Amino acid sequence: MGQQLGRRSWAEPWKIKMVEPIHMISREERQKAIEKAGFNTFLLRSEEVYIDLLTDSGTSAMSDRQWAGIMLGDESYAGSRNFYHLEEAVQSYYGYKYVVPTHQGRGAEHLISQAVIKPGMFVPGNMYFTTTRLHQELAGGTFVDVIIDDAHEPSNTHPFKGNIDLDKLQALIDKVGADRIAYVSLAGTVNMAGGQPVSMANLRALRELCDKHGIRIYLDATRMVENCFFIQEREDGYADYSIAGILKEFCSNTDGAWMSSKKDHLVNIGGWLAVNQEDVFDLARNMVIIYEGLHTYGGMAGRDMEALAIGIAESVNDEHVRSRVEQVRYLGQLLIDWGVPLMCPVGGHAVFLDAKQMYPHIPQNKFPAQTLAVELYLDSGVRSMERGIVSAGRDPDTGDHRYPALELTRLAIPRRVYTQAHMDVVAESVKAVFDNRESSLGLKMVREPQYLRFFQARFERIQPDVDG
């Protein structure tokens, strides 16, 4: 151990005022629970979970100020004062002109996709995200991955693995023509690549290329403050910038953004779409009424919008972002020190275990990352999420599984929720599962929903004498 030896540690810039008891059920109970859940961690009840690292989405702890904001909810149907506070926060921290509130990120993805993608168009981006791509496809678009090749290699330590490969983008433009490109779908700290950032230099070069061809850039700003931390830490010239300053500069090179506020903004529900073009805004503001709610609440209560507006200001606090990312890195570094294979460098919101490398004896169509999530739950009640072949789904044209290069199990860390001792318990459990890796045989899928199958799919254990 000795992690702390010879260093000056960071610590969380808060103290705990309220606690929620958690409890680990017995091994036999966990065995029953995971069988009942069809070996899918999404189908467990949260009472059956000890440390919940399924997602960092909507699971953060709000501050005392945000809770105070909840009491200031103006629950008017139209023109709630909390909406104007939210609008002002988005405009001042992100710099976009027009804001449309939505109930969460996918509501905003739906609006932007329907507003700007026409059937037959292409949407290049730095790796797919499940809901984002689905909305792009439902609008008639085809997503094209133009992330740099380094992003697909878990042990590659490129500091900005989220970068766009401009040659790949240029090749797509040459092939289909700029007018058939709906926009570039650019994500900060790319989720499916392990929470890897995009550099400011890459964005500037992308802006130049897009300007040459009249292509817009829309940003998935969901975990953008973590991306800004990596720019501050790793990119020349940004060490003395604040997170807020980097965020503003980054967004100024894009045409708009959609946001799942359930991540960076430290709230349990909420999101928005913000753009600089009046025509796109007009359409999105009109459509939000059909799908989410009036354009001054978009599916949120007034109190939700107040907590969100306060959360935006808290999310760019430098000490907060540092302690958030350093906690994730603390967990990752323990595992790296113990030889557990994972996605490097450790990303902003989660540690992604490399199930392909951990289970070389389990072929990808027997779901190594899903298997790892099951073993981890059985060992310690820690809940994680598959981010591999199950998440990738099927190719809409051929109907075959998509076989992604990355077969990962994600340990996502909620913000301001768990302590370093929780991280130690998680790391020790991963190590125990890793040490016992040869006994795992994989799973077979016995129920497969049509959309976003990973949420509701059911599995059974492979029996060596029956399934081979």
Helix, strand, or coil here: 184? strand
- Cβ distance to ligand P71 smaller for residue 194 or 368: 194
Q: State the catalytic residue, choosing from 32, 77, 167, 179.
A: 77
Fill in the per-residue mask, 267 to 306: x = in contact with ligand P71 (CB under 6 A), - = not in contact.
Answer: ----x-----------------------------------
Q: State the catalytic residue, choosing from 94, 129, 250, 367.
A: 129
110 binds ligand P71 (CB under 6 A): no
254 binds ligand P71 (CB under 6 A): no
CA distances to 83, 184, 231, 264, 295 from 164, rounded to whole Å, are 34, 10, 15, 22, 33
| Backbone φ and ψ of 444, nearest 5° | -120, 150
For the question of residue 262 being annotated catalytic, the response is no
Task: Choose the stretch contacting ligand P71; rule: CB under 6 A; options: 126-134, 174-182, 442-450, 458-466.
Answer: 126-134
57 binds ligand P71 (CB under 6 A): yes
Task: Choose the stretch contacting ligand P71; rule: CB under 6 A; options: 21-29, 100-108, 139-147, 417-425.
Answer: 100-108
CA atoms within 13 A on the CB side of 313: 15
242 binds ligand P71 (CB under 6 A): no
Say whether the peptide bond before residue 345 is cis (omega within 30 degrees of 0): yes
Helix, strand, or coil here: 270? coil
Q: State the catalytic residue, choosing from 161, 262, 324, 387.
A: 387
* Residue showing the smallest CB distance to ligand P71 in the complex: 105
- Cβ distance to ligand P71 smaller for residue 128 or 330: 128
262 binds ligand P71 (CB under 6 A): yes
For the question of residue 129 being annotated catalytic, the response is yes
CA atoms within 13 A on the CB side of 299: 21
CA distance 95 to 102: 18
For helices 243-252 and 224-234, angle between their N-to-C axes, nearest 10 degrees:
110
**Least separation in angstroms between CB 8 and ligand P71:** 32
CA distance 29 to 25: 6
For the question of residue 366 being annotated catalytic, the response is no
Helix (H) or strand (E) holding 166: helix 166-176
**DSSP string covering 368-413:** HHHHHHHHHHHHHSEE-EEESHHHH-B-TTT-SBP--S--EEEEE-
260 binds ligand P71 (CB under 6 A): yes
Task: Choose the stretch contacting ligand P71; rule: CB under 6 A; options: 125-133, 194-202, 279-287, 309-317.
Answer: 125-133
- Nearest Cα neighbor of 42 from 387, 467, 404 is 387
Binding ligand P71 (rule: CB under 6 A), the pick from 55, 323, 327, 364 is 55
For the question of residue 130 being annotated catalytic, the response is yes
CA distance 12 to 319: 8
**Least separation in angstroms between CB 99 and ligand P71:** 16
**Least separation in angstroms between CB 102 and ligand P71:** 9
CB-CB contact of 227 with 189 (8 Å): yes
Q: Kindly report the number of other CB atoms within 10 A of residue 365's CB atom.
A: 12
**Least separation in angstroms between CB 373 and ligand P71:** 13
Residues 158-187 that bind ligand P71 (CB under 6 A): 187
430 binds ligand P71 (CB under 6 A): no
CB-CB contact of 131 with 103 (8 Å): no
- Nearest Cα neighbor of 75 from 307, 311, 308, 304 is 304
Binding ligand P71 (rule: CB under 6 A), the pick from 85, 106, 356, 383 is 106
Q: State the catalytic residue, choosing from 122, 143, 297, 454.
A: 454
| Backbone φ and ψ of 321, nearest 5° | -65, -40
Residues 130-159 that bind ligand P71 (CB under 6 A): 130-132
For the question of residue 77 being annotated catalytic, the response is yes
For the question of residue 180 being annotated catalytic, the response is no
**Contacting positions for ligand P71 (CB under 6 A):** 55, 57, 104-106, 129-132, 187, 191, 220, 222, 260, 262, 271
Catalytic sites, residue numbers: 77, 129-130, 220, 263, 387, 454
